[in-house]
Structure 1
Amino acid sequence: MIKNTENQLFPVFLQLNRLRTLLVGGSTVALEKLSALLVNSPHSNVTVVAKRIIPNVREFVKSYPSVQLHERAFEDADLAHVDLVLVASNNARLNRQIREESRKRNLLINVADKPELCDFYLGSVVKKGNLKIGISTNGKSPTIAKRIKELLNEALPDEIDETLNYMSQLRDLLKGDFTDKVKALNAHTAVLLTKEGNI
């Protein structure tokens, strides 16, 4: 019998350019994590620590001057001045050590492929200009999350960013209290979405 486990995750969008992120690991998995961070937030302040950093990681970060690479073993002191921790290591002992030390410092942590050690997950993200949509299946099916991402990327027109800019300008021009503004924006949004082809 399939258990009905409700998705308890709360979606947030972090301003990574204002935070300091530590990534422990220098492998292909680390590259995936880096790519997810930097494609969405190119000015993220990321420090990478790993005994070995593969050439692909070094090549990738050349375009991101806010990323620092340290090819050495992890030390507890690496957690001293960070806000967020990501671990891309296949060393179970090291993973648990970093998890324990992070919790002592009240740091949120993500450990690749170890949901029981994670405080947060990196979900699939649809990006169209200023519009970003996060997708989570609560770890049930990354394949479905990927497919939904593909469907949304195809369905949402590139012009959606123009619509967002227009709505932002309109919001600034509207008069009245909050309720009046919401009603006016809703009316304009309905018209715009109809013109865009029933998004």
Structure 2
Amino acid sequence: MIPNLEQLRKNYEQFDDKKLLRIASEEAARLRPEALELLKQEIIRRGLTTDVVKAADVLTKEVSAEELADYVETMRNLPCPICGGTGEKLNATIVSNVMSFIVFTHQSKEVKIACPRCLNKQNNNAIMKTALLGWWGIPFGLIRTPAALMFNARQKAQNDLPEANDLFKSFVYGRLGRIEANKNNPEGLQDIITYIR
């Protein structure tokens, strides 16, 4: 059952600030227009940052290629979350690890945001770990290990591109609301790339 406007207003009034900010910066695109307006009113009534209202607006409108490029550059210029360096622009990779234990094979994939040097280290570590520990499961270790090794090598080739790779652009696009909400908060932007969810 869809709640009416009065029920929505009461819900928003009961939510703590953190939950309201999360809804505005991550879920605004899924709200119906009148619910979004109530959310904005509650944020303004509480005196929370207006950047969050802008974040909700970003999620509910079409973002141009130029706007996306600006967001991407903002995020690429942050310090590396692994080494803290600022000399190279950030990019993204996926690290695939395979570990086998006779009849059990576990494969994991994880997105990493960092400078190209740190991304290469992450992919190299995954290649080494998979090469040493991936083969020992029958039959999946023998199947998944070579696939993961090739996957990491292909990902590594994308780390040193002078422009943002497609994975980084997708990462940013999927977090536009959070980025807009933290535009004036360097620690908040850093958290987006450090604690990936």
TM range (shorter): under 0.3
More relative contact order in 1 or in 2 (CA 8 Å, sep 6+)?
Answer: 2
More helix by share: 2
More strand by share: 1
Under a length normalisation based on structure 1, what TM-score does the superposition of the two structures give? Answer: 0.24
